[in-house]
Structure 1
Amino acid sequence: MSSRGQLSFDDLGTPLAEATLVVVDLETTGTDATSDAITEIGAVKVRGGEVLGEFRTFVDPERPIPAFIASLTGITDASVSGAPSIRIALPMFLDFVGGAALVAHNARFDIGFLSAQAAACEISWPRPQVLDTLTLARTVFRRDEVRNHKLSTLAAHVGASITPDHRALSDARATVDVLHAIIERLGPAATTLEDLSSAHRRVSPAQLRKKHLASAIPRVPGVYRFLDAQGAVLYVGTSRNLRSRVRTYFTAAETRRKVLDMLPRAESIGVIECATPTEARVRELRIIAQEKPPSNRHGLTPEKAHWLRLGAGTEGLRGARLARTEEDGSAQIGPLTSRHDIEPLRGLLTDAIQGRGAALETGARGVPAPDPGHHERLRRAMLDDPREVLDHVAARLRAHVESSRYEDAEKLRRLALTYLAAAHRASRLRALATVPLLICARPSAEAVIGGRGWELLAVRHGRFSGTTLVPAHKDPLPFARSLALTGIGEAELAAPLCQGYHQEAEIMLGWLEGEGVRTVLTDGAWQVPARARFDQEHLARRFSRTGEGPAA
């Protein structure tokens, strides 16, 4: 007769002594994560009370630093001159973080800025576990002990080795001391990372009743599915470590309403073990698209997208739900984040190519353009060269700024960025969709037999075809040839611009654009489109030139 063994200490969570934490602090040009910019990142990596490393960099905010911010932090325009942009600094920081949990004082501010910048730069945000020393401090240091919970007050109260001074690295160092004081104060109540993250919350009765469902989950990459009594899928997720991730659903750290409402109906948890996290993310998308779990939101209908399409011949611009082949002289950009972007974008491109007011003359449905030359110029602006549109936008921005119409200028700038993002997104999807087979290798972040090795990924027309791990001492070519024999049926589902599976293709693109990627086998040519053409820096340069004279 089998019996359930006693849970080991490791089964209860990640011991704090073994948990790697990265304490981060930012300096910024303001408080709005959607419109302000980061000027400095400072971080300290710790484990078991020991400092493993530090990270610090200025960041060029690509805008003037307000005087009051400069006086507060000491960071001036001269300080950030020559510093990397956030598009360079953020990947550097994420490499430093690795798989660690993030800690910040008032984490909503710092992590909100980082995730917002990642989205703006089309950098994959790893969704790390986050601890907030402000929230934890409010739990362990009552108001009769400290007058407030500002970092400077707490640092002085716990005897921190450094005084916060509104500079990123020194504030991060002070936060480390505050964090260690909080852990010491909590004592046995926080022996694991999960305990610490939920020390300020209470577990719901449903979480306590259902906690046993996670008892047999393995520590491997894969997909997990919460199932009801009839075996129907309620919720789907993925993780590099299924055991650690699934167990968080039964701790007080889980506060999402859709999850808490789902748990009482869950009767079992099924897992699909995967060779790599990349495979797991693709399987998650495909399961969500097929099963349409009621508690998932993202990825339910990948076949439904919004594009801005320029028809063949002399047809004008219009919205479309399907991407089609462009061999007939048509073009499209997208997928767009909202159908409400279609008309503003149509107006922007039409006015830029045909002259101000042309969008009103063509009508909402985009009637044939009066001049065939306009069609070719529109197509070029959508596929290859945004300069004509950006020059139009830059001139209008300059006029708005000189007239102190800052709200109109910001609205136009955001519309231009929407155009650039849609065109850039389409160019990447277009390039990958044309490649019949691409097999690449990159250094593996996962453990491989004999130590570290290579992760191989096979892609057919932008669709995931297969993956495997190769030990470092092995030749990857035989493994690549084996991958070339798998997933052949994926080619039958290929579509222009990865229509219907663009989310999956973007996972593939994120992997292919990672550090250290090498091509092993290919059928056809994969030509990575020039990123700078559809980049917001291009707009900034065109705008700067409007103050100097005609744009080149």
Structure 2
Amino acid sequence: MPARRQLSFEDLGTPLAEATLVVVDLETTGTDPAADAITEIGAVKVRGGEVLGEFRTFVDPERPIPAYIASLTGISDATVRGAPSIRTVLPMFLDFVGPEAALVAHNARFDIGFLRARAAECALEWPAPTVLDTLALARTVFRRDEVRDHKLSTLAAHVGAAVTPDHRALSDARATVDVLHAIIARLGPTGASTLEDLGTAHRRAKPVQLRKKHLAADVPSVPGVYQFLDAHGSVLYVGTSRNLRSRVRTYFTASETRRAILDMLPRAESLRVIECATATEAAVRELRLIAQEKPPSNRRGLRPEAAHWLRLGPTGEGLRGARLARTEADGSAHIGPLASRHDAQPLRGLLTDAVMGRGAALEADPARSAAPSSGHHERLRRAMVADPREVLDHAASRLRAHVDAGRYEEAEKLRRLALAYLDAARRASRLRALAEVPLLIAARPSTEAVIGGRGWELLAVRYGRFSGTTLVPAAKDPLPFARSLAMTGTGEAELAAPLCQGYHQEAEILLGWLEGEGVRTVLCEGSWQVPARARFEAEHLSRRFAMTSTAPGE
């Protein structure tokens, strides 16, 4: 077991004293983000009560400003004449905000709604920052017996703001800063000590969440698995997190609204945690525990053996749906797991038509699998295991025919079916390759604090099953740790199955890790590879379709 980590900001949330906040206010030509335009942006960046910077600019709305708006704000057509357009201003504003800051506004739905709409209009990616609404927070903190309403002008006067709001963007933003600080002071450290606390302070946790909050008191800040238990010790719910402390705490806040969890909490009497070396180990252990315990409040992973495949039987047998993946040593083949059991029949039709000719799937008895000739069987197997080109060429030519004839709905239906084929074949290809490797140990760079922020995370996999993991500080040689991993988890080989049948979810977690950036193979028994032409990627359908276009003049 690795040494216990010190609590970090990530574990506890972002302390308000360390959080960067950008308080923003807009002036606009109206109230509809879809139809109206921004005329002025004002913003104040603060951290720990200190002003770090201010942003203010007029914006050319590229339309007349209504007289009543000009009267209210003092911003007229003459005021914004020569001002930059929103296409120029918005990138500058987002750069001022930066990647880490939270946005604050009074009636945030209005201001953030305009900013998001203009970002979409300018083809700019909206960074989706944390958003705090001082109007919603004020309604929680300042009751009606204390203030007559929650308008910004009323609140500014009530808290003694240094700036009086005057319907100008920067002045209103400055006043909102003072209102925000007053709200934080009123809530106090027990009500909102982190940015995350402040974001949910205007919502009320359920009474049962408050009663059970003590269950999270001693949860450590390490990767692992947590189990809610009833009075008899039976498992009610299993979850995982790379930071157990911060994750478990959310179950007792207003941010947790899932009905299954709220129904579970009254029965929860204790919490059991299993500390793990890495988040990958935690994710795998969660899957295994859910399959073993079958907790009533979990919805997914209760039956890891349940999957849907499209199977090509040995020579002399055809395509059919299957619930289990079997050995392919007899010349059979699989693609899957499928997204739905309802995909099996359409995919069978696509492959059969591509290899045996249009209408072949319709001519076969639906109650029985079509029995292809040996030549067709080999081509079907190649399309499922090694080379998608024959199926993609068939799909691309049919797509072109649909598009040229204006049958766009049929084209879209066929495109989705072809993508479902590629997805199922790609999943099977990855699972097939990993399931055949007796032992694979790989390493990737790690910045975990427990190893000083720099080192390696090692992962051992046997036949697609998790075998072990460890963290190695940068100052130490990882090879001895890899050799130790090679001696662990030998029992996993006894549970190996073709295409990781019964544990494909676990295998796909490991594949996601192995295919990540910076991963290096340390030790490999056997061979981990896929056929050179087994490129079951969506982009290849697009390329094949592009090749069917007719050049001008032909």
- The Cα offsets for residues 67-86 of structure 1, whole Å up to 9 and x where unpaired, read as xxxxx9979xxxxxxxxxxx
Q: Aligned pair in 2 of structure 1 residues 364, 204: CA closer, same or farther (>3 Å)? A: same
Contact 1:15–1:192 under 8 Å retained in 2? yes
Amino acid aligned to 1:399: A
- The Cα offsets for residues 15-51 of structure 1, whole Å up to 9 and x where unpaired, read as 233468999xxxxxxxxxxxxxxxxxxxxx9986999
Contact 1:318–1:365 under 8 Å retained in 2? no
Report the Cα distance in structure 2 between the residues aligned to 1:184 and 1:158, rounded to whole angstroms.
19
Report the Cα distance in structure 2 between the residues aligned to 1:101 and 1:459, rounded to whole angstroms.
40
Report the Cα distance in structure 1 between the residues aligned to 2:22 and 2:339, rounded to whole angstroms.
32
Match of 2:304 in 1: 302
- The Cα offsets for residues 158-207 of structure 1, whole Å up to 9 and x where unpaired, read as 5399xxxxxxxxxxxx9xx9998995474244431331331342100000
How is 1:221-236 mapped onto 2 (pairs within 5 angstroms)?
A: 221-236=223-238
The one of 457, 460, 464 equivalent to 2:459 is 457
Secondary structure class of the residue paired with 1:392: helix
The one of 131, 136, 144 equivalent to 1:139 is 136
Match of 1:332 in 2: 334
Q: Is the counterpart of residue 367 in structure 1 residue 359 in structure 2?
A: no
- The Cα offsets for residues 370-423 of structure 1, whole Å up to 9 and x where unpaired, read as 432111111111111111111111111112222222221111111111110000
Q: Is the counterpart of residue 503 in structure 1 residue 505 in structure 2?
A: yes
Larger mean Cα displacement after TM superposition, 135-144 or 257-266:
135-144
Contact 1:424–1:531 under 8 Å retained in 2? no
Amino acid aligned to 2:318: G
Match of 1:547 in 2: 549
Q: Aligned pair in 2 of structure 1 residues 489, 102: CA closer, same or farther (>3 Å)? A: farther
Amino acid aligned to 2:17: A
How is 1:476-515 mapped onto 2 (pairs within 5 angstroms)?
A: 476-515=478-517
Gaps of 5+ in 1: 1-7, 24-44, 52-71, 76-95, 114-129, 147-155, 162-173
Match of 2:266 in 1: 264
- The Cα offsets for residues 492-530 of structure 1, whole Å up to 9 and x where unpaired, read as 000000000000001110111111111111211111565
Gaps of 5+ in 2: 1-7, 24-44, 53-84, 89-97, 121-127, 140-148, 153-166
Match of 1:42 in 2: none
- C-alpha RMSD over aligned residues: 3.9
Match of 2:62 in 1: none
Match of 1:274 in 2: 276
Report the Cα distance in structure 1 between the residues aligned to 2:246 and 2:46, rounded to whole angstroms.
20
Report the Cα distance in structure 2 between the residues aligned to 1:436 and 1:500, rounded to whole angstroms.
17
How is 1:205-224 mapped onto 2 (pairs within 5 angstroms)?
A: 205-224=207-226
Contact 1:275–1:469 under 8 Å retained in 2? yes
Larger mean Cα displacement after TM superposition, 263-272 or 406-415:
406-415
Q: Is the counterpart of residue 437 in structure 1 residue 434 in structure 2?
A: no
Amino acid aligned to 1:159: L
Secondary structure class of the residue paired with 1:455: strand
Amino acid aligned to 1:493: L
Contact 2:135–2:150 under 8 Å retained in 1? no
Contact 1:288–1:296 under 8 Å retained in 2? yes
Q: Aligned pair in 2 of structure 1 residues 478, 196: CA closer, same or farther (>3 Å)? A: same
Amino acid aligned to 2:522: V
- The Cα offsets for residues 427-480 of structure 1, whole Å up to 9 and x where unpaired, read as 000000000000111111422334411111000000000001111011111111
Contact 1:224–1:242 under 8 Å retained in 2? yes
Report the Cα distance in structure 1 between the residues aligned to 2:282 and 2:21, rounded to whole angstroms.
25
Amino acid aligned to 1:475: D
Match of 2:239 in 1: 237
Q: Is the counterpart of residue 159 in structure 1 residue 156 in structure 2?
A: no
Match of 1:399 in 2: 401
Q: Aligned pair in 2 of structure 1 residues 541, 315: CA closer, same or farther (>3 Å)? A: same
Amino acid aligned to 2:410: D
Larger mean Cα displacement after TM superposition, 439-448 or 380-389:
439-448
Q: Aligned pair in 2 of structure 1 residues 193, 347: CA closer, same or farther (>3 Å)? A: same
Match of 1:16 in 2: 16
Q: Aligned pair in 2 of structure 1 residues 207, 403: CA closer, same or farther (>3 Å)? A: same
Q: Is the counterpart of residue 346 in structure 1 residue 357 in structure 2?
A: no
Q: Aligned pair in 2 of structure 1 residues 237, 535: CA closer, same or farther (>3 Å)? A: same
Q: Aligned pair in 2 of structure 1 residues 474, 14: CA closer, same or farther (>3 Å)? A: same
Report the Cα distance in structure 1 between the residues aligned to 2:434 and 2:22, rounded to whole angstroms.
35
CA-CA distance at 1:280 after TM superposition? 0.4
Q: Aligned pair in 2 of structure 1 residues 131, 198: CA closer, same or farther (>3 Å)? A: farther
If you compute each CA radius of gyration, which structure gives the higher value, 1 or 2? Answer: 2
- The Cα offsets for residues 58-112 of structure 1, whole Å up to 9 and x where unpaired, read as xxxxxxxxxxxxxx9979xxxxxxxxxxxxxxxxxxxx989x9999957xx99xx
Identity %: 72
Report the Cα distance in structure 2 between the residues aligned to 1:438 and 1:347, rounded to whole angstroms.
37
Contact 2:386–2:531 under 8 Å retained in 1? no
Amino acid aligned to 2:16: L
Report the Cα distance in structure 1 between the residues aligned to 2:468 and 2:433, rounded to whole angstroms.
20
Q: Aligned pair in 2 of structure 1 residues 257, 524: CA closer, same or farther (>3 Å)? A: same
Contact 1:383–1:423 under 8 Å retained in 2? yes
Amino acid aligned to 2:484: S
Report the Cα distance in structure 2 between the residues aligned to 1:485 and 1:272, rounded to whole angstroms.
23
Contact 2:12–2:245 under 8 Å retained in 1? no
Q: Is the counterpart of residue 187 in structure 1 residue 198 in structure 2?
A: no
Match of 1:168 in 2: none
**TM-score between the two structures when normalised by the length of structure 2:** 0.71
